Amino acid sequence: MRRRTECGGHRKPARILCVFALCAAMATHAGENLPFVESQVKAAFLYNFAQFVEWPRETFRNSSDPINLCILGLTPVGRTLQNVVRDKVVGGRTLAVHNITNVGQAGNCQILFVSASEQKQLHAILDATKTSDVLTVGETENFAAEGGVVGFHRDDGRIRFDLNLQAAQRERLRVSSKLASLAISILTVGK
């Protein structure tokens, strides 16, 4: 039997799912604020991805290491993400946002957001991050189909995401079934 989820409830998973729903609703706004709203939605998704993914224990040197969210490329998402994760803790770890200029700096990242400005280097970026325990998230068309773990795309004016489970397994990431249930499509075959 499926339990109904309400945003005002006290159950933490229900509240997190409601944040995802709010993200989707925010993404439907149009007009001059669209880039700002879109960056807010993507930043909120990135924060929530950290709550629905488990990294291998050896990914972190010790229990006080933060979850590093890295932004590669030109995008307003990084600045917005700084505000979204300020003073937040996931699984006992703080969240730290880093803007990086090349994939070689992604060695300490747990989440790597690849902006659309990096489309020409996409294959090199994904090759460089294979088997590095990094949750790769991108906003270029077919990002997940090309081998990234999560790919954002617009659908009917909303920000949606695809999930590549094979890429997640390759990165030794455990993706919550709750996150998988929110994906528009789940890919089990990828590059």
Q: Are 136 and 129 in contact (CB under 8 A)?
A: yes
Mean local confidence (pLDDT), 107-117? 96
Burial of 145 (0-12, 13-18, 19+ CB in 10 A): middle
Query: Which pair of tokens denotes residue 173?
Result: 């990431």
Q: Is residue 19 pLDDT above 50, yes or no? A: no
Q: Are 7 and 18 in contact (CB under 8 A)?
A: yes
Q: Which pTM does this prediction carry?
A: 0.80
pLDDT class for 46, splitting at 50, 70, 90? very high
pLDDT of residue 6: 35
Mean local confidence (pLDDT), 31-50? 80
CATH architecture of 12-187: 3-Layer(aba) Sandwich (3.40)
CA separation for the pair 13, 136 (Å, rounded)? 23
Q: Are 166 and 190 in contact (CB under 8 A)?
A: yes
Q: How many CB atoms lie within 10 A of CB 166?
A: 16
Q: Are 190 and 144 in contact (CB under 8 A)?
A: yes
Sketch the domain layout of the chain as residue ranges.
12-187
Mean local confidence (pLDDT), 56-61? 93
Q: Is residue 3 pLDDT above 80, yes or no? A: no
pLDDT class for 35, splitting at 50, 70, 90? low
